[in-house]
Amino acid sequence: MFIQIALLVVGLVLLVKGADWLVDGASVLAKKRNVSDLAIGLTIVAFGTSAPELVVNAVAASGNYPDIVFGNIIGSNNFNLFIILGISGLIIPLSVQSSTVWKEIPYSLFAAILLFLMANNYLFGYTEGLSRLDAAILLALFLGFLYYVATQLKSDPSAETLELKDYSNLKIWLLIFVGLAGLVGGGKLVVDNAVAMAQSLGVSEKIIGLTIVAAGTSLPELATSVVAAMRKNTDIAIGNIIGSNIFNIFLILGVSGLIRPLAFNASFNTDIYILAGGTVFLFLAMFTGKKHRLDRWEAILLLVVYLGYTGYLVSMEL
């Protein structure tokens, strides 16, 4: 068991560092080839924070571990919403732009509801789960969201430009290849040892996916939002989380479902209810207290709900 835990931690470190190195090298390469800051931000940087979830899910889908696939995404989204926003909101009350309140938060709720409908076979005549048709629809919606974000950034004159280092070509390609290797190797270590831990502990792959794997793959989002909150850049703190939750469902589940149609464990429905309920709470929180702001008491409530529900899940398995 100790070896499995150690290898899981090594895998998570490789995932996080691999994504960091890949984004660093690829961003500088793109800038040297005159790719715009907007394009780099929407593709390479956005991919970077979602890379751990993407690689873990690709490996899990290839190995036919659907509980890890769904557990990682639903668990990551809940971790993002309840824990990362909760911690960020404790550091500083999070003011939210009007476009985020009326567009991005509802879109993330739509993503959760669509996932529920697709996975439970309420939309198309397939067996319960995520079919390749479902996956293609998710990816199409992801492209639509990407287009929306691009138009938002183009219309925002205050959008920050990327600060990129001047690396040699050798260092750029070294960072890219080492980053990719770290992602692939880390993803394999995480999935293999998460499954082995579940078997050793006698708990389901679902619980391991919802907790350990989900929290581990959300580390880039945690670091980004907490640092942004400490610097009082609340737009990044909350925008990072909402955007990541949309990316996770539309892009990562879309890619996972294209790799292999995924059977759905109906017990995940409760976790989707929690995700949808938390998203509705976040929307309503924008109109309580100071308008368009997540206050500290609301952040505390998010943390308490998540910790209570996770404690309940684990106790039911033991």
Residues 69-109 pLDDT 10s: 999 999 999 999 999 999 999 999 988 888 888 988 999 99
Superfamily grouping for domain 2-317: NCX, central ion-binding region (1.20.1420.30)
Instruction: Give residue 132's pLDDT.
Output: 92
Instruction: Give residue 39's pLDDT.
Output: 64
**Residue among 152, 157, 45, 49 nearest 102 (CA):** 152
| Interstrand relation of 293-294 and 129-130 (parallel, antiparallel or unpaired) | unpaired
Local confidence band at 271 (pLDDT 50, 70, 90 cut-offs): very high
Question: pLDDT per residue over 8-63, tens digit each?
Answer: 889 888 888 888 888 788 878 877 877 766 566 656 766 777 888 898 999 999 99
